[in-house]
A = this chain, B = another copy of it.
Amino acid sequence: MSLTLSTAQAIIAEAFDAGREREFKPLTVVVLDAGGHVIAAARQDGASNSRFEIAQGKAYGALSLGMGSRALMERAEQQPYFIAAAAAAIGGRLIPVPGGVLVRGDDGALVGAVGISGDTSDNDEAAASVAAKAAGLTPQVA
């Protein structure tokens, strides 16, 4: 099973719905395939310049180390030098705060990751999880 563009766009729409309902700030959502390559992205009006890179880094970092970006934050709090070095080793695409969520299909197989940036990291993560579930996938936040 792979993550289709149709599913990626559904995740984005669901995340925006969640953000509107909860009155989050403008969100940017990036959906990556299991290899870390962009399938779809959208930045809501009013979001600042580099939200794409932040959201991408949450999702890419999650896939790189095989854990949701909340776990990357926990590691960064214990060993900031490790996470800084890992980010450098993979071209800077690792943002160690919540909002980068691995997504799995029915059989548990990893199919990609969702990264969201714009509101608090906790809220970004909540939107990613809600959106992944609404699209029929299982999110992994840590």
Report if A57 contacts B (CB, 8 A).
yes
B85, A87: Cβ atoms closer than 8 Å? yes
Type the 1/0 row for A75-103, where 1 means its CB is closer than 8 Å to any CB of B. Answer: 01101111111111111111111000000
For A81, give its contact among B4, B49, B83 (CB under 8 Å).
B83
A138 to B37, CA, bound (A): 24
Q: How many residues of A contact B (CB 8 A)?
A: 56
Give chain A's interface residues, CB within 8 Å of chain B: 2, 4-6, 8-9, 33-45, 47-50, 52-54, 56-57, 61, 63-67, 73, 76-77, 79-97
**Known: A42-B9, A43-B39, A45-B5. Contact between A88 and B88, CB under 8 A?**
yes
A5, B49: Cβ atoms closer than 8 Å? no
B87, A95: Cβ atoms closer than 8 Å? no
Q: Which residues of B contact A45 (CB under 8 A)?
A: 2, 4-6
B89, A50: Cβ atoms closer than 8 Å? yes
**Known: A89-B92, A97-B82. Contact between A38 and B52, CB under 8 A?**
yes
A85 to B41, CA, bound (A): 20
B87, A77: Cβ atoms closer than 8 Å? no
B81, A76: Cβ atoms closer than 8 Å? yes
**Nearest CB in chain B: distance from A78 CB, A:** 10
**Nearest CB in chain B: distance from A89 CB, A:** 5
**Nearest CB in chain B: distance from A33 CB, A:** 7
